[in-house]
A and B are shown apart, each in its own frame.
Chain A
C-alpha cells in the first residue's frame, strides 16, 4: 500500500492506494495552519484507520511548511556570504541583514581570477558569532564551474555553523542571483524544517508506520527524507505539482493538453506537451523571487469558485478577490459558485441562498439576475481562456538557440482539456471550446494521489573543459581528471554512472533506465587558430512520473 498526503493552504488530503485495488481510503480535513503537524497526524490516522499500517510500503508527503516559513517570513537569522567578481553590483543580491560581500573572482570557464579575501571572511564570521548567527550560505559566481571559493568560505566558517549551504550543491545551473537566494532560503528554513521532520517521524512511529518517507518537490518528483534534511528549500511549492502528478495517474494523457485545477481562490493552469508536463527551465519563483528550485510549469490566475461577483463600470466581473465561502455555503456575497447554482449548472448546498444573493446584487442595476449569473460565468471562462492562450503563445515563442530548433521546432496545440478541483464538473459543461473536456474520477483528491504515486526526480549536469583536463558535476560533488581525448560519449556515460551511484548512495530508489540524457553538447574550442580542447556539457535527469496509473 502507498500512502500520500498533500498539506495544502486550505485542505489537507490523504489517500491510501493499494497496488491492485487502487484507492482504498481517502480523507480530507481543513488545514490547521498553526499546527501542521497535528493536521498531518490526524490525516495519517484517519486515512489508515481500519487498515494494517505494516503493509504500507511507501509514504510520500507534500507539505507547505517551507513555503509558509518563507512567505510568512518566519526565517532564522542567516548569514549570506557572496563573492561575485565582475558583473552586476553584488549588493543587489543581499538578503536579510547579514549579507557579506567578499572580494574574489572566478570566470565563466571556472578559472580563479582573483583569490578570495580571507581576511574579510574571517571578520564577517566573527561578526556573525557575536550576533549569534548559526546558519550560513556561501555563494560565489560561477561556482558550478569551480566550487573552490564556496568551499573555502564553508571551511573557514567550520564549527561556527550549525548548517552551511553551498550554492553549487543545490543545482548545476547558472544564475548567481538565483543561487544566492536559493542557498539563503535553504539555510533559513533548515532548522524549522528539520525539527518538523523529527516530529513527523515520531508521529509515524506512534501510528506504527515503518515505511520509508519521501518528500514531494515542485517538479512533481520526490526526494528521500534524509536528503530533504539538507535541501529543505526543494520542498517549496510542491502542492500544484502534486495535483499535476495526480492527473497523470488518473488520466491517460498522450496528447498536447491543458490541465486546469480550479480552486476556491485561483485556477492553476498547466500545459502538457505530448502527454508530459513541462518543466520550468530556470526554476520556480517564490514571492516574486526567482530560485533554482526545479518546478513544473504552472500558472495561477485569480479566478475560482469563491471569486466575488462584482459590477465594475457597468460590466460584470469576478475575482480576483476571494469572498468565500459562497452564499450557498453560508457566505455573505455571491460568488462564481452561486452564479453556477443560479443557472442550474450545479446544485451545491443551499441553492436558494445563491439565488437570493444574485437577485440582491441585480436589484437597482440594469441587469436581471439571470444576466448577472450568465455574465459572471462567461467572464470567468473568458479570463481562463485568455490566460491559456497567453501561456501557449509564450511557450510557442520561447527562444531557441539552434537553427534546427528554429526551423523544425514543434508547436504545442492542445487537443484535450482536463479539469480538476471543486467547480471542475460544473465548469466542464461550459468550458468546451471545440476541444474535448474531461473530468477524471477522484479528482477531488488528485493532489494526494499525485503525492502518493510520484516517482523520484533528479537533475545534474556534467561540465568538462578537455583542454584543462577537468570534468565536474557540481551538485553531486564530482570532480575528475580527464584526458584531452575525452569524448561526448564518455561524458554521457560518466554522467549517467555518477548520477546512478549518487542516487543509490543517497537512498533514492530508481532504475538506471530512468536516468535520461536531456542535453548534450560539445563545442570545439579554438585559441587563436588552434584547437584547445572541447567544451562538453551533458545534462541528465530523472523525469517526473508516477509509479502506477489509476485510469482504466
Chain B
C-alpha cells in the first residue's frame, strides 16, 4: 500500500455543468480526463490523501478582496462561488491541521480578476487565490503570505489586488507579455508605492523548457522566498506552460510541474489555466498531486513525450540566465516609486482595463494613502462601458486609526455626492463590508 509522506487534501470540483460557451476552452469537459486519470491511478485510496468537498464562498468572502460593480450577484454565478469556496476549503483544511497541504482542483479560474470587477476577463470573474488569502488573514493569525503564479499567462488580477500590500509577496512567472495575453507582467512592474518589491514578475521567453523553469525556481523564486519568509506559500497552479497547450507557446512538462512543486512546497495550490485537457492536464495534475503528497512521480510521462517534447535551445537558456539579476534586484533593491505622495497624502494611478471575455472597457482612478503606520487606505473610482461611475474603499488589514477614519470620511462623501451608482466599503479592521447603491 502506498502512503503519502505528506497529508494532502484534494478539493476536486470540475463543475461538469458549467461552461463559458459550448466550444470555449473553459467548458464542462475540462477536468473530465483528469478525474479519469486520478481515479484510475487510485489516488483517492492512497493513505494520507483525502478528497474534500468545497465550501460555497459568501458575499462577504468576495467583498473582502473585490469591489464588485454594481454588486456581487451581478458579476458572479454559483460556479464562481463554489470555485472560490473550493480554495477557501483547501485553506481551511491546511490551517485547521486536517492536512499538511491542499490542492484546489477547481474551475472556473480566477487569477485575471482584479480588485474591481465588472465582468469576466481572461476566463475569470473573481480571484480564487485572493479571496482565499483574505479568508486566511481574517480567520487565522497569519500575515505574511507568498503567492507564486506558475500559470503561463501573467497573473495580472492577483498582481492588481496585492499591488499595495507589502505583506503579500506576489511572484508571477509567465510567457513574456509581449507575446501573450494579457500583455503585462514586465520586470518594471514591482508593486505600489507602499509595497515596492512585493510584486515580482519573471517574463520568460516562448519555448522555455523544463530546464528554464527549474532554473527560474532555483535561482530566482526560492532565494526570494527564503528572504521573505512567508508563513504560507500559495501556488497559482496554471498548467498552460505545457508543450501541448493549444493557446500558449511554452515547452514545459508534467514531470517538470511535479518537480517545480516539490521544490516550491506550496501549502496550498489552486488550479488556474491549462487547456490541453487530454494531452497535458491528466498528467500534470497527477504530477502535482504526487509531488505534493511526497510520492514518487518519476514514472509520469506524457504519451507523446518522446515524439513532441524537445529540450531547451541554448539561446533561451542564456536569455533566462540574464533575467536573474534584474529579478533579484527588483526584490532586494527595489527602485522607489517616483510619484509617491508625501506622508498622509494620496498617490494617484490611472488605469485602463479591457475585459476580453465580456468586451468591457473600464477606466479607474486609484488613490492610495502614504502611511507610516499601515499599508494605507485605498480609494478607487471606476467607470466601465457597462456601468456608470462606482467607488470602492478599502481599509486594509491592520489599518491605522487615521486611515480607518479617512476611509469612512471618503465613504460618506462618496455616498453624499450621489455621483456613483454604487459605493462599496471594505473595512478589514472592524470586519465591516458594506455597499451603498443608488
Contact check, A406 vs B56: say whether CB atoms are below 8 A apart: yes
Minimum C-beta distance from B21 to chain A (A): 11
Q: Is B12 an interface residue (CB 8 A)?
A: yes
Contact check, A526 vs B27: say whether CB atoms are below 8 A apart: yes
Contact check, B41 vs A403: say whether CB atoms are below 8 A apart: no
Contact check, A176 vs B41: say whether CB atoms are below 8 A apart: yes
Question: Given the known A-B contacts A86-B283, A86-B299, A282-B45, are A174 and B40 also in contact in the complex, defined by CB atoms under 8 Å?
Answer: yes
- Interface size of B by CB at 8 A reads 47
Minimum C-beta distance from B215 to chain A (A): 25
Minimum C-beta distance from A468 to chain B (A): 13
Question: Given the known A-B contacts A87-B299, A88-B290, A402-B16, are A525 and B29 also in contact in the complex, defined by CB atoms under 8 Å?
Answer: yes
Q: Cβ of B298: which chain A residues have Cβ within 8 Å of it?
A: 89
CA distance in complex: A526, B135 (Å): 36
CA distance in complex: A418, B307 (Å): 61
Contact check, B16 vs A88: say whether CB atoms are below 8 A apart: no
Q: Is B97 an interface residue (CB 8 A)?
A: no
Q: Cβ of A89: which chain B residues have Cβ within 8 Å of it?
A: 296, 298-299
Q: Is A404 an interface residue (CB 8 A)?
A: yes
Question: Given the known A-B contacts A288-B1, A401-B16, are A87 and B41 also in contact in the complex, defined by CB atoms under 8 Å?
Answer: yes
CA distance in complex: A399, B67 (Å): 31
- State which of B18, B40, B283 has its C-beta within 8 Å of the C-beta of A176: B40
Q: Is A541 an interface residue (CB 8 A)?
A: no
Q: Which of A17-49 contact B (CB under 8 A)?
A: none
Q: Which residue of A lies closest to B17 (CB)?
A: A402
Select the residue from B17, B22, B52, B283 with max chain A CB neighbours within 10 A: B17
Contact check, B278 vs A109: say whether CB atoms are below 8 A apart: yes
Q: Is B274 an interface residue (CB 8 A)?
A: no
Contact check, B2 vs A88: say whether CB atoms are below 8 A apart: yes
Question: Given the known A-B contacts A89-B296, A89-B298, A175-B42, are A401 and B13 also in contact in the complex, defined by CB atoms under 8 Å?
Answer: yes
Q: Which of A506-552 contact B (CB under 8 A)?
A: 521, 523-526, 528-531, 535
Minimum C-beta distance from A259 to chain B (A): 25
Q: Is A178 an interface residue (CB 8 A)?
A: yes
Contact check, B45 vs A175: say whether CB atoms are below 8 A apart: yes
CA distance in complex: A400, B37 (Å): 17
CA distance in complex: A387, B41 (Å): 30
Question: Given the known A-B contacts A175-B42, A401-B13, A525-B29, are A108 and B37 also in contact in the complex, defined by CB atoms under 8 Å?
Answer: yes
CA distance in complex: A141, B39 (Å): 11
Contact check, A403 vs B17: say whether CB atoms are below 8 A apart: yes
- State which of B18, B29, B286, B296 has its C-beta within 8 Å of the C-beta of A526: B29
Q: Cβ of A406: which chain B residues have Cβ within 8 Å of it?
A: 13, 54, 56, 78, 82
A-B contacts counted at CB < 8 A amount to 115
Q: Cβ of A282: which chain B residues have Cβ within 8 Å of it?
A: 44-45
Contact check, A528 vs B246: say whether CB atoms are below 8 A apart: yes
Q: Is B79 an interface residue (CB 8 A)?
A: yes
- State which of A90, A288, A290, A403 has its C-beta within 8 Å of the C-beta of B78: A403
CA distance in complex: A325, B150 (Å): 63
CA distance in complex: A289, B1 (Å): 8
Q: Which residue of A lies closest to B304 (CB)?
A: A113
Q: Cβ of A92: which chain B residues have Cβ within 8 Å of it?
A: 1-2
Minimum C-beta distance from A297 to chain B (A): 16
Contact check, B82 vs A175: say whether CB atoms are below 8 A apart: no
Question: Given the known A-B contacts A90-B299, A403-B18, A406-B82, are A535 and B32 also in contact in the complex, defined by CB atoms under 8 Å?
Answer: yes
Contact check, B29 vs A290: say whether CB atoms are below 8 A apart: no
CA distance in complex: A398, B53 (Å): 6
Q: Cβ of A113: which chain B residues have Cβ within 8 Å of it?
A: 303
CA distance in complex: A74, B299 (Å): 34
CA distance in complex: A34, B334 (Å): 80
Q: Cβ of B13: which chain A residues have Cβ within 8 Å of it?
A: 399, 401, 406
Contact check, A174 vs B36: say whether CB atoms are below 8 A apart: yes
Minimum C-beta distance from B86 to chain A (A): 10
Minimum C-beta distance from B88 to chain A (A): 14
Minimum C-beta distance from B73 to chain A (A): 14
Q: Is B166 an interface residue (CB 8 A)?
A: no
B18-31: CB near A (< 8 Å → 1, else 0) gives: 10001100011100
Q: Cβ of A525: which chain B residues have Cβ within 8 Å of it?
A: 29
B396-424: CB near A (< 8 Å → 1, else 0) gives: 00000000000000000000000000000
Minimum C-beta distance from B41 to chain A (A): 5
- State which of B22, B23, B303 has its C-beta within 8 Å of the C-beta of A86: B303
Minimum C-beta distance from B314 to chain A (A): 29
Minimum C-beta distance from A473 to chain B (A): 17
A59-97: CB near B (< 8 Å → 1, else 0) gives: 000000000000000000000000011111110100000
Q: Is A479 an interface residue (CB 8 A)?
A: no
Q: Cβ of A397: which chain B residues have Cβ within 8 Å of it?
A: 52-53
Q: Is B270 an interface residue (CB 8 A)?
A: no
- State which of B40, B51, B52, B301 has its C-beta within 8 Å of the C-beta of A108: B40
Question: Given the known A-B contacts A175-B39, A528-B246, are A403 and B283 also in contact in the complex, defined by CB atoms under 8 Å?
Answer: no
A110-151: CB near B (< 8 Å → 1, else 0) gives: 010100000000000000000000000000011000000000
Q: Is A235 an interface residue (CB 8 A)?
A: no
Q: Cβ of B169: which chain A residues have Cβ within 8 Å of it?
A: none
Q: Is B320 an interface residue (CB 8 A)?
A: no
Q: Which residue of A lies closest to B37 (CB)?
A: A108
- State which of B41, B78, B246 has its C-beta within 8 Å of the C-beta of A407: B78
Q: Is B217 an interface residue (CB 8 A)?
A: no
Q: Cβ of A84: which chain B residues have Cβ within 8 Å of it?
A: 299
CA distance in complex: A368, B218 (Å): 68
Q: Which residue of B lies closest to A88 (CB)?
A: B41
Q: Cβ of A535: which chain B residues have Cβ within 8 Å of it?
A: 29, 32
Contact check, A400 vs B299: say whether CB atoms are below 8 A apart: no
Q: Cβ of A404: which chain B residues have Cβ within 8 Å of it?
A: 17
Q: Is A105 an interface residue (CB 8 A)?
A: yes
Q: Which residue of B lies closest to A111 (CB)?
A: B303
CA distance in complex: A59, B26 (Å): 55
CA distance in complex: A113, B286 (Å): 18
Q: Cβ of A523: which chain B residues have Cβ within 8 Å of it?
A: 16, 28-29, 32
Minimum C-beta distance from A534 to chain B (A): 10
Q: Is B300 an interface residue (CB 8 A)?
A: yes
Q: Which residue of B lies closest to A537 (CB)?
A: B32
CA distance in complex: A533, B52 (Å): 32
Question: Given the known A-B contacts A108-B36, A402-B16, are A88 and B301 also in contact in the complex, defined by CB atoms under 8 Å?
Answer: no
CA distance in complex: A407, B54 (Å): 11
Q: Is A107 an interface residue (CB 8 A)?
A: yes
Q: Which residue of B lies closest to A141 (CB)?
A: B40
Contact check, B303 vs A529: say whether CB atoms are below 8 A apart: no
Q: Which residue of A lies closest to B286 (CB)?
A: A87
CA distance in complex: A399, B13 (Å): 8
Q: Which residue of A lies closest to B302 (CB)?
A: A86
Q: Is A440 an interface residue (CB 8 A)?
A: no
CB-defined A-B contacts under 8 Å, sample of 15: A87-B286, A87-B300, A88-B42, A92-B1, A174-B39, A397-B52, A399-B51, A401-B15, A402-B17, A403-B79, A407-B78, A523-B29, A526-B23, A529-B23, A535-B32
Closest CB pairs A-B (n = 10): A177-B42, A174-B39, A113-B303, A174-B40, A402-B17, A523-B29, A108-B36, A86-B301, A290-B45, A399-B53
Sample of 6 more A-B contacts, CB < 8 Å, known A142-B40, A403-B18:
A90-B299, A108-B37, A109-B33, A400-B53, A402-B17, A407-B56
B residues adjacent to A (C-beta < 8 A): 1-2, 12-18, 22-23, 27-29, 32-33, 35-37, 39-42, 44-45, 51-54, 56, 78-79, 82, 246, 278, 282-283, 286, 290, 295-296, 298-303
A residues adjacent to B (C-beta < 8 A): 84-90, 92, 105, 107-109, 111, 113, 141-142, 173-178, 282, 288-290, 397-404, 406-407, 521, 523-526, 528-531, 535
